[in-house]
Structure 1
Amino acid sequence: MAVHAHPDDESSKGAATMARYAAEGVEVLVVTCTGGERGDILNPAMDRPEIKAHIGEVREQEMARAREILGVRQSWLGFVDSGFPEGDPLPPLPEGCFALEPLDVASEPLVRAVREFRPHVMLTYDEKGGYPHPDHVKCHEVSVEAFEAAGDPERYPGTGEPWQPLKLYYHMTFTKERLTALHSAMEQAGLESPYADWLTRFEDESFENLWDITTKVTCGEYFETRDKALLAHATQIDPNGVWFVCPLDIQREAWPTEDYHLARSLVDTELPEDDLFAGIREKVSF
């Protein structure tokens, strides 16, 4: 189970991993916390009044295409996008949005989803949310709450039979190590790298990753599938944007994995890992 804040997050973080496991016969569920109703249109070709007027419906349709491409199931928690506050001072978050929901209210439908789907592994963001969007931070909070509560019969009564996931991971997608490797590989190939500006951000301590990489999942052969899923989110992803500047063969050579931090584990495993199910395959039957 991969828990994400908005439609498109599942395609930019861990998509090739999910596509690989789905192709190998693992049942994969993406849980999307909000509908992305307050997301900006980031692809100029889609910046049209009729799309803006129905952005929630459009993003739902985009998510349907992306999940089909990835070969995964997907469900919605049904909360309202909080938007990304900008300005100085920052404006208040809109009333009724996901980020302002009490933890138990925001977590209840995810606990229900965990007890229904019964995942062995959960994926989410770290305390910073991957980046400081209020919905990403809230997604972290409800994911940790659900991981810890779903197996306790005393908590969240009426949401199904208890089920305890065995491992919880944080996405480690935009790390300095990965961006440096891609940047160097592009320069060595004589190509202009889009990563120089990204790397300067790591000089600001607020952009430093909180956690070390513990787990690298080899999934380079699914990078093309990942990119197709990204492009399905046409309002959010510019096909001429930075996501697609680095050629896939360079990516596969320089950094053929998607990376994670093992945040919780109820099974014995040796670090570093190359499999999200390390320690689980020996414990349970799939």
Structure 2
Amino acid sequence: MAFTLVSFHAHPDDEALLTGGTLARLAAEGHRVVLAVATDGEAGAAASTYRADGHLADHRRDELGRSAAALGCARVVRMGFPDSGWSRSEQPPEGSFSRLPVAEAAGPLAELLREERADALTIYDPAGGYGHPDHRQVYTVGLHAAQLAGTRLVLEATIDRVLIRRLIRLVEAVPGVLPDVHAADYDAAYTARRDLTHRIDVRRYPEAKRLAFAAHASQASSDEGARTLSLLLKLPPWLFRQVLGREWFVEHGRPPGEPLDDLFASLRTSP
């Protein structure tokens, strides 16, 4: 049986990093995958060549299209909300996605869910992964939209906290690689292993995931220092497959237990 999934994300490149392998696998298995992105990522970081004349959003829109094609998405919907930017000390600008009333921001997503007759929706965990305000808003807005549309299955795309902290500690051990990344910042980030409901094996789809990463060239660029995406793209194929060969989710309403490898397991067993 084929299902329709709407995968809701905050910025172009989030879809590749958190769910790229899962989206590629579902598309290859014959399901309809619809990618919905709240912002065009115009406030994101990038090398000055991409930011010249305020055209970063244009670059990121094009990159999103190439990434979606690599993953086999049937449709891409850009909602065009203003990007909130990312700062641990400053409040996002008035009118940006993270500061919009939830009902207002949820309207277009609820409409999309109804139009697609979506069986499932992916959002983020309540912490927004590492805490980005737009990511936290994806969680809140996504829940509200699913309730409005009556979407049966809601899953939080996340990362096993044990594994992300282990990876960050390895990065910290190499001075200067990602100097602003610290394991202590991930004590409450993403999701505790005991709370995960799905661990999706995507090791058969590393090339699609790598192509999606590579599509987001602006997000691998920097005027100084390395970016996470650029470091991941430098991994040899065997290590890329090993490090990025699984993706994690928390299904709303399902008690934690041995993580499932079927994102739609609940739909297959429900009346």
Q: Shared topology, TM-score over 0.5?
A: yes
Q: What does 1:210-221 correspond to in 2, within 5 Å?
A: 212-221=195-204
Paired position in structure 2 for 1:190 = none
The one-letter amino acid of 2:202's match is C
Q: Please tell me whether the aligned partners of residues 17 and 258 of structure 1 are also in contact (alpha carbons under 8 angstroms).
A: yes
CA deviations 1:219-249 (Å, max 9, x no partner) are: 1121221121111111112488322344332
d(CA) in 2 for partners of 1:116, 1:23: 23
Structure showing the higher helix proportion among its residues: 2
Q: What does 1:85-164 correspond to in 2, within 5 Å?
A: 85-86=87-88, 90-151=89-150
d(CA) in 2 for partners of 1:100, 1:136: 12
SS, match of residue 268 in structure 2: coil
Q: CA deviation at 1:94?
A: 1.4
d(CA) in 2 for partners of 1:132, 1:15: 20
The one-letter amino acid of 2:249's match is Y
Paired position in structure 1 for 2:268 = 281
d(CA) in 1 for partners of 2:119, 2:256: 14
d(CA) in 2 for partners of 1:34, 1:50: 16
Q: Tell whether 2:159 aligns with 1:173.
A: yes
Q: CA deviation at 1:131?
A: 1.4
How well do the aligned residues superpose, as a CA RMSD in angstroms?
2.9
Q: CA deviation at 1:30?
A: 1.0
Please say which structure displays the higher CA radius of gyration: 1
Q: Tell whether 2:78 aligns with 1:79.
A: no
CA deviations 1:94-116 (Å, max 9, x no partner) are: 12211111111011111101111
d(CA) in 2 for partners of 1:135, 1:125: 10
Scaled by the length of structure 2, the TM-score of the pair is 0.82
Q: Please tell me whether the aligned partners of residues 51 and 58 of structure 1 are also in contact (alpha carbons under 8 angstroms).
A: no
* Residue of structure 2 aligned with 1:257, choices 225, 246, 252: 246
Q: CA deviation at 1:125?
A: 0.6
Name structure 1 gaps, 5 residues minimum: 152-164, 185-192
SS, match of residue 91 in structure 1: coil
Identity %: 30
Q: CA deviation at 1:271?
A: 4.8
d(CA) in 2 for partners of 1:106, 1:85: 21
SS, match of residue 141 in structure 2: helix
d(CA) in 2 for partners of 1:61, 1:208: 28
Q: CA deviation at 1:150?
A: 1.2
Q: CA deviation at 1:4?
A: 0.3
The one-letter amino acid of 1:4's match is H
When residues 204 and 32 of structure 1 are mapped into structure 2, their CA distance, relative to the original with a 3 A threshold, is: closer
CA deviations 1:170-198 (Å, max 9, x no partner) are: 12225323664x799xxxxxxxx547579
* Residue of structure 2 aligned with 1:13, choices 11, 15, 18: 18
d(CA) in 2 for partners of 1:281, 1:269: 18
CA deviations 1:60-104 (Å, max 9, x no partner) are: 111111111111021012211011124xxx333212211111111
Q: Tell whether 2:29 aligns with 1:24.
A: yes
d(CA) in 2 for partners of 1:183, 1:215: 22
When residues 224 and 173 of structure 1 are mapped into structure 2, their CA distance, relative to the original with a 3 A threshold, is: farther
Q: Please tell me whether the aligned partners of residues 50 and 59 of structure 2 are also in contact (alpha carbons under 8 angstroms).
A: no
Q: CA deviation at 1:12?
A: 0.6
When residues 254 and 278 of structure 1 are mapped into structure 2, their CA distance, relative to the original with a 3 A threshold, is: same
When residues 30 and 104 of structure 1 are mapped into structure 2, their CA distance, relative to the original with a 3 A threshold, is: same
Q: CA deviation at 1:250?
A: 3.3
CA deviations 1:239-274 (Å, max 9, x no partner) are: 883223443323545673211111235xx9985311
The one-letter amino acid of 2:253's match is R
The one-letter amino acid of 1:100's match is R
Paired position in structure 2 for 1:157 = none
Q: Please tell me whether the aligned partners of residues 200 and 263 of structure 2 are also in contact (alpha carbons under 8 angstroms).
A: yes
d(CA) in 2 for partners of 1:109, 1:273: 31
Scaled by the length of structure 1, the TM-score of the pair is 0.78
Q: What does 1:29-48 correspond to in 2, within 5 Å?
A: 29-41=34-46, 44=47, 47-48=48-49
Q: Please tell me whether the aligned partners of residues 170 and 262 of structure 1 are also in contact (alpha carbons under 8 angstroms).
A: yes
Name structure 2 gaps, 5 residues minimum: 1-5, 222-226
The one-letter amino acid of 2:107's match is E
d(CA) in 1 for partners of 2:99, 2:108: 16
Paired position in structure 1 for 2:69 = 68
